[in-house]
Amino acid sequence: MEVLGIDVGGSGIKGTIVNTKTGDFISERHRVETPQPATPEIIAETIHLIVKHFNWKGKVGCGFPSVIQNGVIRTAANIDKSCIGVNANELFSKITGCSIKVYNDADAAGFAELKFGKVKNFKGLALFLTIGTGIGSALFYEGKLIPNTEFGHIYMNNKLEAEHFTSDAIRKKEDLNWKVWGKRFNQFLEYLETLLYPELIILGGGASKKFEKFSPEITIKTPIEPAQLLNNAGIIGAALLA
């Protein structure tokens, strides 16, 4: 089946048509900058531009950087606060004329990794983390997604939320070298390890592409590896979930 997969990010929205059997892209990826402030209506209009670009009439799966319960946006850590409470399934479907289903972006990306990445079909307790502007998380057991885990918002011992302590955006903002940032990230992983005892951790998002630069600082016992699908995971996963 072919589904249009879309990934909504802080600055841009990307999409392409995905073959949901193989996870392959059927077309080139198309990216549109999101005008700011990115209110729900503006995001909907931007998604509409992508739908029109592909002249798409079928199903659409969309990853979104918030808690999403049955299509309703519940949080807005790094997006415009006016998004909270909006039924994104309804609004985006109405504006685009397509049937759109919206999911948390990390849940979508993790789902794609488990289906088509190098950890495919892993059946144990797997934790997927995306390290970008924020920190996203997705938890899987026996291949099933437990949605909206939001571990990027747990408080570290310095009273900061994890994503304000060790996201990729913080690494850049505070100009941390990989060693210093890696130690911070390791503290976060240690915390998650004692909370969850996962059997595998997979890292996606910007910083995961530089895994070899900070992996010497990672001392947890849980096997950990960078994601395989990288930038494309969010789009593929959203299409699969839809």
Interface region with ligand BGC, contact rule CB under 6 A, candidates 30-38, 103-111, 186-194, 216-224: 103-111
* Residue with Cβ nearer ligand BGC (39 or 75): 75
Smallest distance from the beta carbon of 216 to ligand BGC, in angstroms?
A: 25
Interface region with ligand BGC, contact rule CB under 6 A, candidates 80-88, 127-135, 168-176, 187-195: 127-135
Among 19, 27, 75, 82, binds ligand BGC (CB under 6 A): 75
Among 110, 147, 152, 237, binds ligand BGC (CB under 6 A): 152
* Residue with Cβ nearer ligand BGC (56 or 167): 167
Measured from each CB, the residue nearest to ligand BGC is 134
Among 16, 20, 46, 130, binds ligand BGC (CB under 6 A): 130
Smallest distance from the beta carbon of 192 to ligand BGC, in angstroms?
A: 15
Smallest distance from the beta carbon of 102 to ligand BGC, in angstroms?
A: 12
Quote the radius of gyration of the chain (alpha carbons, Å): 17
Tell whether residue 78 is a contact of ligand BGC (CB under 6 A).
Answer: yes
